[in-house]
Chains A and B, each alone.
Chain A
Amino acid sequence: MRDFAKSLIAVEEKAHRASRTRPLAGFYVCEKLRPPLATLMGNAGFHALMSRALLLAQGEVPWLKSVRVNADGSFEGLAELDRQLGPQEIAEGRIVLLAQLLGLLVAFIGEDLTMRLTLEIWPSLVFEHTDLSRRPK
């Protein structure tokens, strides 16, 4: 799941070269997932799912405890962290959070459907040896 999350972040970084200077923009992936998932399950549904993913990710990356999920599923508290954390820490946080979100989706709706939803957002994405069956710890 981590690899899958990493590859999504890599694609998004490529599309937003400017984000290299602002590592927190890497949360773009979650932001991009938000509209189609909110259409599917409503803002409240997406908020609940993202909150759960955040809670699970906080176990691995403690600084994510400073991040909050708004009612519409967007993040709050990232701007402050941008100034306090190093690029490596932020990179790890976003990978873990995204991996947890994808893990939840796979647990609920299965690999195929998760992959399809993802491919709709990133149609040119090519996954190699992606095993989505293992959820992050």
Chain B
Amino acid sequence: MKKRAKKVQRNAQLKALRRPPNVTIHKLPTGVPGLDEILGGGISEFSFNIIAGTPGCGKTTMAQQVAFSNGTPKKPALYFTVLGEPVLKMLRYQQQFSFFDESKVGKAVRFVNLSELALDQSLNAVLEEIVRQVTTANAGVVVIDSFRTLAPKASSYVDAVEVQSFIHRLAQFLTSWEATAFLVGEYVEEEIRDNPLFTMVDGIFWLSQVSERNSVVRKLQVIKLRGQASVPGLHTMRIGAHGVEAFSRTLGLVATKTKPSNRKQMSTGIAELDKMLGGGIIEGDSVLVTGPSGTGKSALATQFIAEGLRRGEPGIRAIFEERPDGYTQRAGSFGLNLKAAEQKGMLETLYLRPLDLSVDETMQAILDAIKRVKAKRLVIDSLVGFEMALAPGYRADFRESLYRMIGALTGAGITIMSTVEVEDSFTSLQFSHYAISFLTDDIIRLRYVEIDGQLRKTLVVIKMRGGNHSKDIREYVITDKGVVVIHPRRTDYHGLSTGIPTRTGPRRAQEEETAPEPKATR
């Protein structure tokens, strides 16, 4: 009996835990691309937040994005400036960003200067003015920039009490007045522990920038966010034409679906290679094409994309080495018209070569392109170039981010072919510099082999997760059709995988080969 009562009580408790929350917290868009996703949908309405960091991190820009994104003539955003950057300069610079809508200035976004009050009078007078302005305007969003100069670190106990009292009353008032507030200030990380302001606020947005070698890496961290779950960790951010842009370290891929059980096989565009792959690459696989320079990795990847286009499957080429024109031209020399596909919106080429890219924003660019064209096939050419395009500070995150992206994209049914350059050692068969084979379902290895006084090319399917594949080492050439697999498995050589095989069978009569490998015309 006692046991049963306990069970009933426990069920009631679980039911209570499962029920929807009584209070719905509406979320406001921040106007910062990528940030809403990090925050789990936006910033909580009526929350009291701080945007902190060192100078030049983008605090003011971010605060203005929030103001311009939410301010309306009926519920304007009030932007209080205090002893910081002169307002004329701030307006001058912020106008350079696309979010700055001058038609909103004065109506939906109002700037109020509190510098003189802060200098000449007490914090009480400042609070009174804020109350007056917010009440009169019926503000929905309130920004105080810089709050640090308004409520500096107190030097005595009396000062500390006054500052705390000011912050407390300000928070009480703004919350009661249904305003979402942002305090902008230059703080250092050590202050989080000691400054009571950080205890009072609902949200802490920490912006930072570190320089590594010649590049600067900007990061955003949501240290605290009451009432909602945000994506933890340090997120890459950039200040560009649109203001601050944030790139979630999970790339918004956490909720992607898993691979379907009955997946079709996709042609590579090379009939013999398809046979070696047991009918083609399995849909949603990640394929790594690895080999030294000049073995035709890019050609193979181009054929893979072109074959998809032929079958009505849109594709993305993310290229980091060669120029897009070169790619398209080479494809043309193989008889593949990629330009037409690009014009139709079936193919998009991302040429990502700047040397200060962050891994997350690069991946975001790829993800955006995939969404735009509804891509089924993705080529990353090459992973080495991708890594080189990143700012040195981001390279440490490369494998981790790549792992997340490949996992999520293949989970969504997108088939990825990545190329990676490796050096042929002529002693062993190396797959890749990276320990990235865990990222890939299938590995195709291209290599040079010395046969009969010639440096020829062979390919072999090393691995194919979830499918049976040929174990043959096959010779191929690059012709005006692209990569073409020619000879069947050769049994008259031993040690082909080393690159310097030894003959096991009788030497055959040497064929006269005038042009054993006609190069594709450019």
Report yes or no: B116 in contact with A44, Cβ–Cβ below 8 A.
Answer: yes
Report yes or no: B105 in contact with A116, Cβ–Cβ below 8 A.
Answer: yes
B252-271 with Cβ < 8 A to chain A: none
Q: Does B192 contact A (CB under 8 A)?
A: no
> In the complex, which residue of chain A has the Cβ closest to the Cβ of B107?
A120
Q: Does A40 contact B (CB under 8 A)?
A: yes
Report yes or no: A40 in contact with B86, Cβ–Cβ below 8 A.
Answer: no
Interface-side segment among B20-28, B87-95, B152-160, B486-494: B87-95
A39 vs B87: C-alpha distance when bound (angstroms): 10
A26-84 with Cβ < 8 A to chain B: 36, 38-45, 49
The total of chain A residues at the interface (CB under 8 A) is 19
Q: Does B343 contact A (CB under 8 A)?
A: no
Residues on A with beta carbons closer than 8 Å to the beta carbon of B91: 108-109, 113
A105 vs B95: C-alpha distance when bound (angstroms): 14
Minimum Cβ distance to chain A for residue B271 (Å)? 61
Residues on A with beta carbons closer than 8 Å to the beta carbon of B87: 40-42, 45
Residues on B with beta carbons closer than 8 Å to the beta carbon of A113: 91, 95, 102, 105
A39 vs B6: C-alpha distance when bound (angstroms): 65
Give the residue of A41, A110, A117 whose beta carbon is less than 8 angstroms from that of B113: A41
Q: Does A112 contact B (CB under 8 A)?
A: yes
A108 vs B115: C-alpha distance when bound (angstroms): 20
Residues on A with beta carbons closer than 8 Å to the beta carbon of B205: none
Q: Does B166 contact A (CB under 8 A)?
A: no
Mark B462-484 against chain A: 1 for CB-CB distance below 8 A, else 0.
Answer: 00000000000000000000000
B59-115 with Cβ < 8 A to chain A: 81, 86-89, 91-92, 95, 102-103, 105-107, 111-115
Minimum Cβ distance to chain B for residue A85 (Å)? 32
Greatest chain A CB density within 10 A among B87, B112, B114 is at B87
Mark B492-508 against chain A: 1 for CB-CB distance below 8 A, else 0.
Answer: 00000000000000000
Report yes or no: B88 in contact with A39, Cβ–Cβ below 8 A.
Answer: no
Report yes or no: A110 in contact with B106, Cβ–Cβ below 8 A.
Answer: no
Residues on B with beta carbons closer than 8 Å to the beta carbon of A117: 105-106
Greatest chain B CB density within 10 A among A39, A44, A49, A105 is at A39
Report yes or no: A108 in contact with B88, Cβ–Cβ below 8 A.
Answer: yes
Report yes or no: A38 in contact with B113, Cβ–Cβ below 8 A.
Answer: yes
Residues on A with beta carbons closer than 8 Å to the beta carbon of B102: 110, 112-113, 116
Q: If the complex has contacts A40-B111, A45-B86, A120-B106, are A108 and B116 also in contact, measured as CB distance less than 8 A?
A: no
Residues on B with beta carbons closer than 8 Å to the beta carbon of A41: 86-88, 113
A103 vs B146: C-alpha distance when bound (angstroms): 28
A22 vs B7: C-alpha distance when bound (angstroms): 91
Give the residue of B95, B107, B115 whose beta carbon is less than 8 angstroms from that of A42: B115
Minimum Cβ distance to chain A for residue B151 (Å)? 18
Report yes or no: B112 in contact with A39, Cβ–Cβ below 8 A.
Answer: yes
Report yes or no: A109 in contact with B92, Cβ–Cβ below 8 A.
Answer: yes
Report yes or no: B88 in contact with A49, Cβ–Cβ below 8 A.
Answer: yes
> In the complex, which residue of chain B has the Cβ closest to the Cβ of A108?
B88
A116 vs B106: C-alpha distance when bound (angstroms): 8
A40 vs B115: C-alpha distance when bound (angstroms): 10
Minimum Cβ distance to chain A for residue B316 (Å)? 38
Minimum Cβ distance to chain B for residue A55 (Å)? 17
A46 vs B95: C-alpha distance when bound (angstroms): 20
> In the complex, which residue of chain B has the Cβ closest to the Cβ of A114?
B102
A43 vs B113: C-alpha distance when bound (angstroms): 9
Minimum Cβ distance to chain A for residue B133 (Å)? 9
> In the complex, which residue of chain A has the Cβ closest to the Cβ of B95?
A110
Minimum Cβ distance to chain B for residue A52 (Å)? 11
> In the complex, which residue of chain A has the Cβ closest to the Cβ of B91?
A109
A116 vs B110: C-alpha distance when bound (angstroms): 12
Residues on B with beta carbons closer than 8 Å to the beta carbon of A38: 113
Report yes or no: B103 in contact with A39, Cβ–Cβ below 8 A.
Answer: no
Residues on A with beta carbons closer than 8 Å to the beta carbon of B111: 39-40
Residues on A with beta carbons closer than 8 Å to the beta carbon of B103: 116
A77-132 with Cβ < 8 A to chain B: 105, 108-110, 112-113, 116-117, 120
Q: If the complex has contacts A40-B87, A116-B103, are A45 and B113 also in contact, measured as CB distance less than 8 A?
A: yes
> In the complex, which residue of chain B has the Cβ closest to the Cβ of A117?
B106
Minimum Cβ distance to chain B for residue A35 (Å)? 12
> In the complex, which residue of chain B has the Cβ closest to the Cβ of A120?
B106
A49 vs B88: C-alpha distance when bound (angstroms): 10
A41 vs B92: C-alpha distance when bound (angstroms): 13
> In the complex, which residue of chain A has the Cβ closest to the Cβ of B100?
A113
A42 vs B90: C-alpha distance when bound (angstroms): 14
Report yes or no: A39 in contact with B105, Cβ–Cβ below 8 A.
Answer: no
A11 vs B236: C-alpha distance when bound (angstroms): 52
> In the complex, which residue of chain A has the Cβ closest to the Cβ of B117?
A42
Residues on B with beta carbons closer than 8 Å to the beta carbon of A110: 92, 95, 102
Residues on B with beta carbons closer than 8 Å to the beta carbon of A109: 88, 91-92, 95
Report yes or no: B116 in contact with A42, Cβ–Cβ below 8 A.
Answer: yes
16 A-B residue contacts at CB 8 Å? Answer: A38-B113, A39-B111, A40-B87, A42-B81, A42-B87, A42-B113, A44-B116, A45-B113, A108-B88, A108-B89, A113-B102, A113-B105, A116-B105, A117-B106, A120-B106, A120-B107
Closest 9 CB pairs of A and B: A42-B113, A108-B88, A42-B115, A41-B87, A109-B91, A112-B102, A113-B102, A120-B106, A40-B111
